[in-house]
Structure 1
């Protein structure tokens, strides 16, 4: 299992529209091959910052299967214009021990 993380800084004044669009985008990502689950959490200290956590079966399910898909273009159109700066996406695996 791979955990994708992204800190999302939404432009001030757009959080309500972002959350609305994210609910639409959730249907897109949840239908992708290798998708396990995701969650979006809003920061308490900075109300226009979110953290997105997505679990994938493999790294390639995200980096190739999702990001190179037609569905990703719809995801991008729904969400990418909300971010400033654009998020850095990182991937994690469970540590041994």
Structure 2
């Protein structure tokens, strides 16, 4: 399993609009991607324009090739991309310890 973490920043005052868009994108697009196990989004308390999107993928390639090089990526970006203040910072992680 690989964990994708995307650090997303949106313009001030756009939280309700982004909340709806990211939920729509996750439920209608990301959920159809091959290799997706689960996802969640957290919103900043001190920084309400900051969101952290976490998606568990079967493999790194499921995200970087299977999803990113598919038509689903364009669908996803059409829904959430217009609300980004800047491009998200995306990194991938593997688990070391679980509790």
TM > 0.5: yes
1:88 deviation in Å?
1.1
Q: CA RMSD in A?
A: 1.4
What corresponds to 2:68 in structure 1? 67
1:37-95 alpha-carbon deviations (Å, 9 max, x no partner): 00000011011111010000000000011111111111011111211221110000112
Which position in structure 2 is the counterpart of 1:15? 15
State the alpha-carbon separation in 1 of the partners of residues 37 and 26 from structure 2.
12
Gaps of 5+ in 2: none
Q: TM-score, normalised by structure 1?
A: 0.93
Number of aligned residues: 97
1:23-42 equivalent positions in 2, closer than 5 A: 23-27=23-27, 28-42=29-43
